[in-house]
Structure 1
């Protein structure tokens, strides 16, 4: 599947990065956990939206600097359901998560919570709307995008409690990728696009267009 067939923030960010060094990406839609595995095995070259971890550095090269450093984790609820004001309010609630994703240390390591992982955040929103789970946790930008795409803004709300801290988010290159030979150029392009504000403009423009009213047929 080529880059013109699908769209999204990550599609545009990766395209901008690779075009800067003269490459046109070919995207492979897949669940997050499979995408990470493909990077580890060398079946995919590059991934975005990934957090740096020591175990991942065995198979991946993280492009410095991170292309964004703030990644709010938000809990979404159905309208007219009790708010989540404190972390302890998560107790006794069923929580939709994305399989293989990490959110924040307290939540990730808390085995007392009723987490229900599946491979797709859009499916989590559908489960939320149907009442099969009480809440979902997702990165705010992804959640807002999916709410607009699924046309459910009138059905869900954000909880008061959220985790909003500095979290570096990276592009990572498979150590088995042929793109490793282009690492100096990739690092230079990544830094240029970050420091010039190009990545931020791509993100801002995407959300501005997403929330514009549809143009009627002429």
Structure 2
């Protein structure tokens, strides 16, 4: 690799502190993990999240094979799609992190 140094630390909070003190150039974490830690530490406006992500991992919901929940699956799919299209999904995420940051 072309990095001068790679640091191994014990917590995400240490990563944030190193980033804020310019001891490192970047920190790799998942978006929600990084946003959560930044909000908890009150430094949301002091760090920048790079987009697009380096990697994206989809999430899934599983249903038991014993019961047929086809109607429920369709309702969940439709509701999530609608929420993403109308911005409600992103607003919930943003409100969550804003609330954490204000505590």
State TM-score, norm by structure 2.
0.55
Q: Residue 208 and residue 127 in structure 1: after superposition, are their counterparts in 2 closer, same or farther (change >3 A)?
A: closer
DSSP 3-state at the match of 2:97: helix
DSSP 3-state at the match of 2:34: helix
| Distance (whole Å) between structure 1 residues aligned to residue 11 and residue 39 of structure 2 | 15
Give 5+ residue unaligned stretches, structure 2: 19-23
Which of 35, 38, 50 does residue 147 from structure 1 map onto? Answer: 38
Q: Residue 204 and residue 127 in structure 1: after superposition, are their counterparts in 2 closer, same or farther (change >3 A)?
A: closer
CA RMSD of aligned residues (A): 3.8
Give 5+ residue unaligned stretches, structure 1: 1-86, 97-122
> Which has the larger helix fraction?
2
Once the two structures are TM-superposed, the CA of residue 173 in structure 1 deviates from its matched residue by 1.8
Once the two structures are TM-superposed, the CA of residue 199 in structure 1 deviates from its matched residue by 0.2
What corresponds to 1:83 in structure 2?
none
State TM-score, norm by structure 1.
0.31
DSSP 3-state at the match of 2:2: helix
CA contact (8 A) 2:39 2:98 kept: no
Give aligned pairs, total.
Answer: 91
| Distance (whole Å) between structure 2 residues aligned to residue 163 and residue 140 of structure 1 | 9
Once the two structures are TM-superposed, the CA of residue 138 in structure 1 deviates from its matched residue by 0.8
| Distance (whole Å) between structure 2 residues aligned to residue 187 and residue 179 of structure 1 | 18
Q: Deviations over 1:155-205 (max 9, x none)?
A: xx758xx75226666440225466861211221111121112110111122
Q: Deviations over 1:111-130 (max 9, x none)?
A: xxxxxxxxxxxx52245459
Superposed, which structure 2 residues align to 1:49-68 within 5 Å?
none
